[in-house]
Structure 1
Amino acid sequence: MDGLSGARPLVPVAPERLQEAARRKLDAPAFAYLAGGAGAERTMRANLEAFADVKLMPRRLCGSASRDLSVELFGHRYPAPVLLAPLGVLELAHEGADVAVGRAAAGMGVPFIFSSQASEPMEAVAAAMGDAPRWFQLYWGTDEEVTRSFVRRAEECGAQAIVLTLDTTLLGWRPRDLDLGNLPFLRGQGLAQYLTDPVFRSRLAAVGGPAASPRPSPALLKTAASLAAHGRKFGLSLAQMRAGAAHFTASYTRPDLQWEDLSRLRGWTDLPILLKGILHPDDAREAVRRGMDGVIVSNHGGRQIDGEVGSLSMLPRVVEAAGDLPVLLDSGVRTGSDVAKALALGARAVLLGRPYAYGLAVAGEAGVREVLRNVVAEFDLTLGLLGAHSAGELGAEHLA
């Protein structure tokens, strides 16, 4: 209806045009980090192809003038089966970063999953969101006291669940970043949770940073300037920032994480724990045996293994293996009809990732809000056109 007055959207509606608008807005390293995938990016394509391969089947003369889009997860009812996925280094997209995304999510009432690799500390984002729902995504590092401190802080920030990411115990082979020699964490970007953590900060005095070059190159000068700027933001010296970047890169993941470790995490918190990165049905069964509260079918948006199976392709088998355990999905979700397909295949909800980052790049907080509104609106229309009265009604009968 805004077209009557000549108003046009803040961000392109079509996913491909949205990505292109973000590419034009961002510098090459920022776009490479946000948009890139592993290897030849076959997994990224597999995620999109998996959605394209699923066909919806509408029913006629059984619809409703209004639909119930809401979903209940872990005792909380959310207005739509869409959550904002944890994305790291959002400062690459926009200076508002995680705070802008949190405000947009709060305006819609959907949960924002705070990333361990955030550009703003969880406390600042939680304050900006008020009472709106938020979860916390956890990377389990080799400095276990820091990991435990993150969980404690998430509880204090009002997080309603802990999402443990399992598919990034090693950083994937990402040619777009490699070609540009770009790892933002070395410049202090995406380290807000660490640089504000009391346990992590206590390590900085004991960890030596890289020695300064007597004849620094322009690249090293740029890195030093970025570290110094982030140091000023978080009250740390340049030497401490160098030490912080070094300690982070040495400790942020644990390649030898095992199922047995989950019992310690269970002992640290009473919050629901979801395992993110599940693709194999046997891993879903093990999650049930280990007392986890949910799983997220995900291949990290195609950023970890080149040639990996598309997330949606594995969803039905994981749902079957998980039994009564709630199953969520991410990787490849671009549209409201994608949301409908995932729910028809058994997902309880989906996580939206890159599209909202592109909206953030194009128009800040308002861009995130518009992308989220577009996805939810298309899902509502799709639901109605399929002849379903609620999100919970979607099932095999709505698939060809």
Structure 2
Amino acid sequence: MNTPARIPPGIYNAIDYERLAAQHLPADRLAYIAGGCGWDQTVAANRAAFGQWAVLPRLLRDVRAGHTRRALNGQDLPHPFFLAPVAHQRLAHPDAELATARAAEATATCLVASTLSSAPLEAIAQAAGSAPRWFQLYLQPERAHTLDLLARAQAAGYTAIVLTLDASIQLASRSALAAGFALPPECTAGNLAAYAPSAPAPLAEGDSRIFQGAMRHAPIWDDLHWLLPATRLPVWVKGVLHPDDARALQAAGVAGLIVSNHGGRSLDGAPAALRQLPAVRAAVGADCPLLLDGGIRSGQDAFKALALGADAVLVGRLQMYALAAAGALGVAHMLTLLIEELQACMAQAGCASPADITPEALLPSCPTDPQAFPC
């Protein structure tokens, strides 16, 4: 895959990278990155949810001292965009997460590195330089391996752990299967190379491939209670959709929550993350740090998420599209566009800071298809 060393022509908004990625990715890889699981219903729902809301402009508001700064768990951030943990970024670009990390440093964006990254977490940290960085954790079948990942992340300067709990089973996307996608041999998990994989225990007669097979090592509450005191880093939980789960996790002492349906890659037919955001915010109160992951394609999308209760948002697929189209420069340009789009939306809505963005800034919107979302 050849990627230009300059910003590609025809990029006017961040979402344009989604269109351009098709020119730089083989069809099977594009289908895998763009798809979720099953019929991709939840992928579509994540995007459609933003169309249910309109931003209400305000007049004569003085925003000349406006900014996008946020403070999150004592960490000062210049803007509310995070680079989401996306596995196997070598699918999009040969420099993989190292290019993404360089873009994070150039834009002072917090990078969340995946357990399943193509490059080791230490190399990503080095490439990220001064950029803030968190480490996304999948609990490993061997607890010793999990402890080693935690120690490596802390030693490499990661300042938080993002524990993903909603991806024990990931069914294939029919669109990716139809395109013939298979993970290429060069896409290996750089962080797990030193850990010998555990041999799967054989199933007994009558056992389920799902319950006794795939779910054998799925996280349970005991695992969370073991993990929290095992690291000095704050632990966030990603994959929260149900308010009761949010309350229970808050009571358990996690540092914050990420409302997410794993980009539609976990349960096809799950509700849009944005749809569940207000209910989760109501469940945990105003002071619990809360992020949104799923469907962000513009600064206006981010504005709507902030208005509905998020403190910041994660950018996943758009990150991969920009990486495929123009490497580190593309990711940095995409983030710059998102920040400027958010600023333009804030200015016209009369919001001088993220703290000014409240639910009153939005109105229910009637889409062109009244059958999809009745007004």
TM-score when normalising by structure 2? 0.87
Corresponding residue of 1:242 = none
Q: 1:210-289 to 2 correspondence within 5 Å?
A: 255-289=217-251
SS at match of 1:25: coil
Contact 1:141–1:254 at 8 Å: present in 2 too?
A: no
- Please tell me whether residue 337 in structure 1 is matched to residue 336 in structure 2: no
Q: Distance in 1 between matches of 2:288 and 2:171?
A: 29
Corresponding residue of 1:390 = 353
1:194 to 176, 192, 195: 192
Contact 1:90–1:190 at 8 Å: present in 2 too?
A: no
- CA shift in 2, pair 1:169/1:79, >3 Å: same
Per-residue deviation, residues 325-354 of structure 1 (Å, max 9, x unmatched): 111001011100011000011100000111
Contact 2:14–2:334 at 8 Å: present in 1 too?
A: no
Contact 2:15–2:297 at 8 Å: present in 1 too?
A: no
Q: Distance in 2 between matches of 1:280 and 1:321?
A: 9
Q: Answer with 251-260 or 96-105: which moved more.
A: 251-260
Q: Give the aligned residue type for 1:47.
A: N
Q: Determine which structure has the larger helix proportion and give its number.
A: 1
Q: Distance in 2 between matches of 1:278 and 1:40?
A: 22
Q: Distance in 1 between matches of 2:191 and 2:10?
A: 30
Deviation at 1:270, TM superposition (A): 1.5
Contact 2:7–2:330 at 8 Å: present in 1 too?
A: no
Q: Distance in 2 between matches of 1:389 and 1:325?
A: 23
Deviation at 1:368, TM superposition (A): 0.4
Q: Give the aligned residue type for 1:331.
A: G
- CA shift in 2, pair 1:21/1:292, >3 Å: same
- CA shift in 2, pair 1:340/1:58, >3 Å: same
Deviation at 1:120, TM superposition (A): 0.6
Q: Give the aligned residue type for 2:187.
A: Q
Corresponding residue of 1:25 = 24
Q: Distance in 2 between matches of 1:282 and 1:183?
A: 37
SS at match of 1:154: helix
Corresponding residue of 2:146 = 147
Q: Distance in 1 between matches of 2:215 and 2:132?
A: 27
Q: Give the aligned residue type for 1:368.
A: V
SS at match of 2:23: helix
Corresponding residue of 2:373 = none
Q: Give the aligned residue type for 2:276.
A: M
Q: Give the aligned residue type for 2:225.
A: S
Q: Answer with 390-399 or 167-176: which moved more.
A: 167-176
Q: Distance in 1 between matches of 2:62 and 2:84?
A: 31
Deviation at 1:10, TM superposition (A): 5.0
Deviation at 1:175, TM superposition (A): 1.6
Corresponding residue of 2:330 = 367
SS at match of 1:135: strand
Q: CA RMSD in A?
A: 2.1
Deviation at 1:254, TM superposition (A): 5.7
SS at match of 1:169: coil
Q: 1:138-177 to 2 correspondence within 5 Å?
A: 138-177=137-176
Contact 1:91–1:190 at 8 Å: present in 2 too?
A: no
Deviation at 1:156, TM superposition (A): 0.8
TM-score when normalising by structure 1? 0.82
Q: Distance in 2 between matches of 1:123 and 1:378?
A: 33
Q: 1:112-123 to 2 correspondence within 5 Å?
A: 112-123=111-122
Contact 2:299–2:342 at 8 Å: present in 1 too?
A: yes
Contact 1:13–1:371 at 8 Å: present in 2 too?
A: no
Contact 1:63–1:385 at 8 Å: present in 2 too?
A: no
2:266 to 304, 329, 350: 304
Contact 1:10–1:363 at 8 Å: present in 2 too?
A: no
- Please tell me whether residue 346 in structure 1 is matched to residue 344 in structure 2: no
Q: Give the aligned residue type for 1:167.
A: D
- CA shift in 2, pair 1:140/1:181, >3 Å: farther
Q: Give the aligned residue type for 1:108.
A: T
Q: Which aligned segments of 4 or more residues in structure 1 are displaced greater than 2 angstroms?
A: 7-18, 176-183, 251-256
Deviation at 1:35, TM superposition (A): 1.1
Per-residue deviation, residues 148-169 of structure 1 (Å, max 9, x unmatched): 2111111111111100111101
- CA shift in 2, pair 1:61/1:257, >3 Å: same
Q: Distance in 1 between matches of 2:215 and 2:332?
A: 32
Deviation at 1:77, TM superposition (A): 0.3
Corresponding residue of 1:108 = 107
The percent identity for this pair of structures is 38
Q: Distance in 1 between matches of 2:326 and 2:218?
A: 41
Corresponding residue of 2:288 = 325
Aligned residue pairs total: 345
- CA shift in 2, pair 1:172/1:207, >3 Å: closer
- Please tell me whether residue 45 in structure 1 is matched to residue 8 in structure 2: no
Deviation at 1:98, TM superposition (A): 0.3
Contact 1:87–1:115 at 8 Å: present in 2 too?
A: yes
